């Protein structure tokens, strides 16, 4: 006999027991945790809205949920692929492409720098972020952190040296252009 999950408390327990695993599964397919969470929630809503006779046809609730999440993820990927193909067919103005390319490069460089920054000592990391990413002046940083201006200069220099050693040389040249603006 298949146990129907039609009471709210049973459904809540089903959700608690399977939500995290399904989200991880969907994230592995979609490479986007936020979209994966939405897919899993939609799947649970779809299951909850099934009629009792349809729920009886479901052999394994867990299997049904995984299969539904997989299908929904694959549909999203197909839809995304179609949207991307359509966008490629559209001709963008050259200025738009240059601006978009510049933004993509900047975001890639900043992403790489943020990865490296997280490995720096905390004080150096904080001064570097405030000085180069937030655009604060040395005196403003010193005042905000209650340290001397010479410490700020030293930490900024130390941060640049550490980033230079860890960052791809091509990225470093581009990063300097962004920081020196």
Average pLDDT value for residue range 68-84: 91
Q: Does domain 8-89 sit in CATH 1.20.120?
A: no
Average pLDDT value for residue range 139-166: 89
pLDDT for the residue 179:
56
* Orientation of helix 169-179 relative to helix 149-166, angle to 10°: 150
CATH number at 94-179: 1.10.10.10
Total-model pTM = 0.45
Compare 54 and 68 and report the one with higher pLDDT.
68
Alpha-carbon distances of 105 from 37, 109, 151, 165, 168, rounded to whole Å: 29, 6, 31, 20, 13
Q: What is the mean pLDDT of the chain?
A: 82
- Domain range summary for the chain, segments of one domain joined by +: 8-89, 94-179
For residue 147, give the 3-state DSSP assignment: coil
Q: Which of 123-137, 147-161, 165-179 has the lowest mean pLDDT?
A: 165-179
**Cβ distance 43 to 72 under 8 Å?**
yes
């Amino acid at each position: 006999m298949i146990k129907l999950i039609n009471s709210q408390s049973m459904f809540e327990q089903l959700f608690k027991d399977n939500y995290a695993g399904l989200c991880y599964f969907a994230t592995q397919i979609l490479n986007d945790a936020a979209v994966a969470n939405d897919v899993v929630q939609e799947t649970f809503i779809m299951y909850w809205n099934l009629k009792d006779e349809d729920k009886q046809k479901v052999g394994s609730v867990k299997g049904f949920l995984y299969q539904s999440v997989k299908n929904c993820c694959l549909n999203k990927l197909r839809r995304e692929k179609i949207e991307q193909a359509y966008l490629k067919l559209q001709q963008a103005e050259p200025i738009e492409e240059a601006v978009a390319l510049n933004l993509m490069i900047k975001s890639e460089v900043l992403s790489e720098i943020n990865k490296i920054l997280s490995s720096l000592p905390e004080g150096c990391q904080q001064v570097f972020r405030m000085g180069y990413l937030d655009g604060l002046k040395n005196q403003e940083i010193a005042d905000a952190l209650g340290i001397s201006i010479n410490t700020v200069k030293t930490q900024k220099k130390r941060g640049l040296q550490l980033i230079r050693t860890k960052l791809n040389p091509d990225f470093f040249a581009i990063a300097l252009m962004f920081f020196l603006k």
